[in-house]
Amino acid sequence: YVRYNSRCLPLNITMNPSTYSSDFPDILLKWNVEDPVSDFERQRNNVVAGIQKNRNPFIDNAYLATVIWGGPAAQNTWPDTFNGGGTTADNEAPSTPINLVSTAATGNTVSLAWTASTDNVGVSGYDIYVNNALKMSVTSNSGTVTGLTSSTAYSFYVVAKDAAGNRSGESASILVTTPGPGNPGEGTTSCGTENFETISDVTSTYAAREWQNKGITWTATNARTDKQIYIDGDSNKAICIRKGSLTSSTISGGIGSLTVKTYLPFADAAGNYTLKINGVVKGSIPYSKTASTVTVNGINVAGNIVIELVDELTNNRVSFDNLSWTCYSVMATEDAAGKNQKLSVYPNPVKNSQFYISGIEKNETVKIYSLSGQLVQTIENVENKGKVNLNKLPKGIYIVKTKNQSSKIIVD
């Protein structure tokens, strides 16, 4: 609680009679306005309140100082409580979430992560939209959407919000396909592993590292290799990276999914590493004080690849071990070249996400693939000469595949 009388006079808090100046209270009140409460201070206030059962109300709402002592109006985070006399309502929306990625996918779930938004008062949560409809709300910068259908493409975007009801712009949308059994191109065969056992030097110094294993050259920046950062005991090596990256040389065979074990060996905050394939962001690798194995599914890049784990924004010291990945290859598309002329798709290019298909059996299943072999949509029980409605797919070339035939289409 706060006692308002002489206990809270500025003279009795931050100064004494020998240093007092008549403008000191005004300076403190001006400081209260120009140095707004940070997210860190709010978090600390919550932690202290949980321990002491007592909290600092001026962290919860700096405008309380204005109500008590007057002066310039500080930020008012409770506009419904204090709505007069210099109140400053919170009309500023949070920043738009960025770097939305899928970190994992199963037949009926998709896990998402993104870079947290900022706000003048504080972000209260995020709304996750699936196919342009609100699906769920979360309070952190990650979430898992459930109740999905396998072998189906879904569009996702995220909106940040604050306690005053202000909403950010929509994040960039991403398209994620839930995996299904037997999809062409989806690899389950292990293509490679890296256990960091061939790193020759064992040192606590953070420096650039380079080593080879199974024909692959690995490089790490700002990394240490001593036993203190090992995850699975003193006999199993690992690597710890601080504000740097782990990068492979060029690897053949493509990549369908990637798995790695992470751990924070020191007193750092939990966070996420970014997974890039050939320089393109493909997922996020979370880490914390609890050792955990993380799998990023649905990467699906064929041909030669370069794997990179990177975090050049924080000084968190993160240990990595037991890295592995599965193969991925482009589905066969001989029929898609037009050799089988029985199948007909029209109009082509496709307009308004609709086309008609003929030359198929009754009640066939039609599947739509990207040129990389990723299944983006499944349409059941399609009649011969029937209409097919596509999801909101990005413009480009796709493959329409039926039971025995396939053809290319252009989505315009």
Task: For residue 228, give both structure tokens.
Answer: 């203190």
- The better pLDDT of the pair 182, 281 is held by 281
Residue, of 336 and 83, whose pLDDT is higher: 83
Residue 185 inside a domain? The answer is no
- Name the pLDDT band for 116 (thresholds 50, 70, 90): confident
The number of folded domains in the chain is 4
Residues 79 and 144 reside in one and the same domain = no
Least confident of 11-25, 166-180, 364-378: 11-25
Q: What is the per-residue pLDDT for 79?
A: 67
Same domain, 218 and 305: yes
Question: Tell me, what CATH number does 270's domain have?
Answer: 2.60.120.260
User: What's residue 85's pLDDT?
Assistant: 45
Among candidate residues 381, 329, 303, the one with its CA nearest the CA of residue 183: 329
User: Is there a contact between 298 and 362 (Cβ–Cβ < 8 Å)?
Assistant: no
Element (H, E) at 26: helix 24-34
Which tens digit of pLDDT belongs to each residue from 183-213? Answer: 444 455 678 899 999 998 889 999 999 999 9
Whether the Cβ atoms of residue 149 and residue 160 lie closer than 8 Å to each other: no
Across the chain, what does the average pLDDT equal?
Answer: 82
Residues whose CB is less than 8 angstroms from the CB of residue 360 and which lie 6 or more positions away in sequence, other chains included:
343, 366, 382, 384, 402, 403, 405
Point out the least confidently predicted range of 43-47, 87-91, 319-323, 328-332. 328-332
Q: Are residues 245 and 267 in the same domain?
A: yes
Distance, first Cα to last Cα, the chain: 63
Lowest mean pLDDT among 59-73, 114-128, 177-191: 177-191
The answer on 216 and 291 residing in a single domain is: yes
Q: Is there a domain that residue 332 lies in?
A: no
Under a CB-based contact definition with an 8 Å cutoff, are residues 239 and 229 in contact?
yes
Domain boundary at 153, 178, 203, which? 178
Does residue 6 fall inside a structural domain?
yes
pLDDT at 83: 56
pLDDT grade for 57, boundaries at 50, 70 and 90: confident
**Assigned domain for 333 exists:** no
Max avg pLDDT among 24-28, 224-228, 230-234, 281-285: 224-228
Per-residue confidence (pLDDT) for residue 39, from 0 to 100: 77
Q: Is the pTM of this model over 0.75?
A: no
- Domain range for 396 is 344-411
Whether residues 230 and 313 share a domain: the answer is yes
What pLDDT does 182 receive? 45
Helix (H) or strand (E) holding 67: helix 63-69
In this structure, are 352 and 393 located in the same domain?
Answer: yes
pLDDT at 324: 94
171 and 196 co-located in one domain: no
- Averaging pLDDT over each range in 102-106, 322-326, 339-343, 399-403, which range is the top one? 322-326
- Asked whether residue 261 falls in the same domain as residue 371, the answer is no
- Among 31-40, 132-141, 336-345, 402-411, the range scoring the smallest mean pLDDT is 336-345
CA distances from 45 to 37, 71, 353 (A): 11, 25, 52
Q: Which residue has the tokens 């037997």?
A: 182
| CA dihedral angle for residue 42, residue 137, residue 120, residue 35, rounded to 10 degrees | 0
Least confident segment among 3-7, 367-371, 373-377:
3-7
The owner of tokens 């770097």 is 99
Q: What CATH number should be reported for the domain holding residue 374?
A: 2.60.40.10
Q: Is position 331 within any domain?
A: no
| 144 falls within a domain | yes
Residue 213 is assigned to a structural domain of this protein? yes
Query: Residue 66 above 70 pLDDT?
Result: yes
**Contact assessment for residue 222 and residue 208, using Cβ atoms and an 8 Å cutoff:** yes
- Please report which confidence band the pLDDT of residue 371 belongs to, taking 50, 70 and 90 as the band edges: low
DSSP notation for 125-168: EEEEEETTEEEEEESSSEEEE-S--TT-EEEEEEEEEETTS-B-
Q: What is the pLDDT of residues 138-178, one digit of tens each?
A: 988 888 899 888 777 788 899 999 888 899 999 988 877 77
pLDDT recorded at residue 332: 35
Asked whether the predicted pLDDT for residue 250 surpasses 80, the reply is yes
Residues 41 and 159 in one domain: no
173 and 59 inside one domain: no
Q: What is the average pLDDT across 74-83?
A: 70
**Does 198 lie in the same domain as 316?**
yes
Which of 326, 360, 376 is the endpoint of a domain? 326
> Is residue 140 a part of any domain in this protein?
yes
**Rounded distance between C-alpha atoms, residue 349 and residue 351, angstroms:** 6
- Residue where a domain stops, chosen among 24, 53, 86: 86
Q: Are residues 318 and 197 in the same domain?
A: yes
